A and B are shown apart, each in its own frame.
Chain A
Amino acid sequence: MADNPPPIEVRNLTMAYGDFVIQRDLNFEVNQGDIFVIMGGSGCGKSTLLKQMLGLITPAEGDIIYSGQSFVTADSNEQENMRKRWGITYQSGGLFSAMTLAENVSLPLQLYTQFTPKERTEIIAYKLALVGLAGYEDYYPSEISGGMQKRAALARAIAMDPDILFFDEPSAGLDPISSRLLDELIVQLKESLGATVVMVTHELPSIFAIATNSVYLDTNTRTMIAYGDPRDLRDHTDQPVVRQFLTRSSAATTEDTA
């Protein structure tokens, strides 16, 4: 093993809104080429963790380190440079509704690359083709279905050939078939781009199908209680809550997530 630092390390992270601690003492690493899943019941802070990793919220304590460089202590210029290497899709797509799909994908290219307008048009056509939306350049997000919006958001996320892809609930609200196709697409893209994927999801089929590593955030103890390949966790974990989550059973300890 080369001693390249892992793409993402989370160290002693504590997340809090004011005095209200959501999760404390989070420690994990995401390795190169992982599909890393953040799991947990509703309201445990999965999306908050993702927002902290994206720098949208500053952690109360602890550090997030990208390829050996701390994000929390970096100045805004360095943070900007780190962000350029990420591709992100948001829970509800986050597509700009006033722009066509082509303009949506084009925006990061326009901002950060030196491609000529003609090259950009070609790249947009290619990125949309990758997500199966070839020919939809001139459509507005409101004119296509929810599943297509998710894929269009993915096209925008991969526009810059990112090193790290973040997905917030990529397959929420999709039918099982579309959701499986999206999973396959994520794997394909990850492997061909050589990217690392971090996703928040609680779709079990998708977790078992594509995840290679995961962390489970618990609502009651307010910290992570399991870390590893979700298939291993399902079969071997000693944490009843995690097993319950992963086997979808309602036994023994009830989860209070209301």
Chain B
Amino acid sequence: MSKSAPVFQLDNTQSDTLMLTLSGDWEQGAGAPDFDELHTNLNALSPKALTVRFDSIENWDSIIMAFLLQCSNHCQDNGISFDTSSLPEGAQRLLSVATAVRPHQQPEPATYHWLSSLDPIRMLSATMGNIRESLAFIGEVAIALAKLVVGKANTRYADFRAFCYQSGPDAFAIISLISVLVGMILGYLGAVQLEQFGAGIYVADLVVIGTLREMGALMTAVVMAGRTGAAYAAQLGTMQTNEEIDAIVTLGVSPIEFLVVPRMLALVVMMPLLTIYADVLGILGGALVAGGLGITPLQYFNQASAAVEISHIMVGLIKSVAFAVLIAVAGCRSGINSGRSSAAVGQAATQAVVTAIIYLIIADAAINILCQQLDY
């Protein structure tokens, strides 16, 4: 069957009444006429009434209905009476369903001039709001922790144990890989420089101090921010979407005590342990590099054990506890404040990781400056 191009034709039957005839195959891909053409004609002729009919149309789909709907809306807006009685029954019925409800007028969105975003007062109030929200969250967590100490918090031990498992043993594989590699990177970095002075043996000192004070804690924290922080945000965000958090609140339980505290405590307990594990593997990674440079394992470990000081280990552990709190705060806060849609949960997870890493770097710098000033 040959396809004929879809066209419309306007005829003046009586004064003020126009006849709109549609013919051809009104189907997808056939290149249906644009309503704008008809619109211009209708505006020019400004009829009182418009009658529409199909002429030898065999195939039609939604495109003709979309066209008719635009005609109908135009007629209604301009007080033209629109006669559809010569249309096929199916088309008539669809049109009457489609026009049963008046189009919704979207309210004008409140628009601000782009310069107004630079308004210092507005900026200040937005920042203050943000800071207030963070402080409120940290305050709530502190209250929940205080209640936990007194033994009045609704925190379940089983939750805590499950989160410990998720954030500890489950992370062994990735932490192992990262720490050995970072230890090796530190080793190579130092070896190249130290060899020039014939001081290759001090690679051991560099790896030990670098890993214990800095890299062990920081790399573990970065991995945990991506792994556990994002998971917390996604879990809590999904609970927000499913109204689970509403259910917890209406049961009279604080979601901070019930959801945030066990997650945070699990991280606070597990992070120092993971950091110690990462430290050991990092030093082993350094040993591999040192071996390649002709330093025997005995020499390396002898030199390394001389470099280990309790203060180095303590700095690393203090950092890991601080990082754990920051990762948990960033993850849980994004999760609890998440919107109620799948896109919002994704945003919450992203935001959790980004905030956590910013917090980590700032906190790391701050602790380093503090240690420097205290000569620790």
A positions within 8 Å CB-CB of B: 97-98, 113-115, 118-119, 122-123, 125-127, 129-130, 132-136, 138-142, 161, 185, 188-189, 191-192, 194
Task: For B106, give its contact among A118, A135, A140, A188 (CB under 8 Å).
Answer: A135
Question: What is the minimal beta-carbon distance from A114 to any residue of chain B, in angstroms?
Answer: 4
B106 cross-chain contacts in A, Cβ below 8 A: 135-136, 138-139
**A60 CA to B80 CA in the complex, in Å?**
60
State whether B98 touches A126 (Cβ < 8 A). Answer: yes
B94 cross-chain contacts in A, Cβ below 8 A: 130, 192
Question: What is the minimal beta-carbon distance from B160 to any residue of chain A, in angstroms?
Answer: 32
Question: What is the minimal beta-carbon distance from A43 to any residue of chain B, in angstroms?
Answer: 20
B100-142 contacts to A (CB < 8 Å): 100-106
Task: For B32, give its contact among A113, A119, A139 (CB under 8 Å).
Answer: A119
State whether B97 touches A189 (Cβ < 8 A). Answer: yes
Question: What is the minimal beta-carbon distance from B92 to any residue of chain A, in angstroms?
Answer: 9
B172 cross-chain contacts in A, Cβ below 8 A: none
B35 cross-chain contacts in A, Cβ below 8 A: 122
State whether A98 touches B104 (Cβ < 8 A). Answer: no
Judged by a CB distance under 8 angstroms, whether B342 is at the interface is: yes
Judged by a CB distance under 8 angstroms, whether B41 is at the interface is: no
Question: What is the minimal beta-carbon distance from A28 to any residue of chain B, in angstroms?
Answer: 28
State whether B65 touches A126 (Cβ < 8 A). Answer: yes
A113 cross-chain contacts in B, Cβ below 8 A: 28-29
State whether A97 touches B97 (Cβ < 8 A). Answer: no
User: Closest A-chain residue to B241, C-beta based?
Assistant: A97
> Interface residues of B, CB < 8 Å — how many?
33
Task: Give the A-B pair count, Cβ closer than 8 A.
Answer: 81
State whether B62 touches A98 (Cβ < 8 A). Answer: no
A185 cross-chain contacts in B, Cβ below 8 A: 97
State whether A134 touches B102 (Cβ < 8 A). Answer: yes
Judged by a CB distance under 8 angstroms, whether B339 is at the interface is: yes
State whether B66 touches A97 (Cβ < 8 A). Answer: no
State whether B98 touches A130 (Cβ < 8 A). Answer: yes
Question: What is the minimal beta-carbon distance from B39 to any residue of chain A, in angstroms?
Answer: 12
Most interface-central of A122, A125, A138, A194 (chain B CB within 10 A): A122
**A134 CA to B104 CA in the complex, in Å?**
6
Judged by a CB distance under 8 angstroms, whether B150 is at the interface is: no
User: Closest B-chain residue to A118, C-beta based?
Assistant: B34
State whether A98 touches B342 (Cβ < 8 A). Answer: yes
Task: For B29, give its contact among A114, A136, A142, A191 (CB under 8 Å).
Answer: A114
State whether B62 touches A135 (Cβ < 8 A). Answer: no
State whether A132 touches B101 (Cβ < 8 A). Answer: yes
> 0/1 per residue, B67-82, Cβ < 8 Å to A?
1011000000000000
Question: What is the minimal beta-carbon distance from B276 to any residue of chain A, in angstroms?
Answer: 42
State whether A122 touches B341 (Cβ < 8 A). Answer: no
B70 cross-chain contacts in A, Cβ below 8 A: 122, 125
A123-B97 in contact given A98-B342, A118-B34, A134-B102 (Cβ < 8 Å): no
A130 cross-chain contacts in B, Cβ below 8 A: 94, 97-98
Most interface-central of A115, A127, A136, A138 (chain B CB within 10 A): A115
A115-B100 in contact given A125-B69, A127-B62 (Cβ < 8 Å): no
State whether B97 touches A188 (Cβ < 8 A). Answer: yes
Judged by a CB distance under 8 angstroms, whether B161 is at the interface is: no
A-B contact pairs, 30 of them (CB 8 A): A97-B341, A97-B342, A98-B342, A115-B28, A115-B63, A119-B32, A122-B35, A122-B66, A122-B67, A122-B69, A125-B66, A125-B70, A126-B65, A129-B101, A130-B94, A130-B97, A130-B98, A133-B104, A134-B98, A134-B102, A135-B103, A135-B105, A135-B106, A136-B106, A141-B341, A142-B339, A188-B97, A189-B97, A191-B90, A192-B97
Judged by a CB distance under 8 angstroms, whether B311 is at the interface is: no
User: Closest B-chain residue to A112, C-beta based?
Assistant: B28
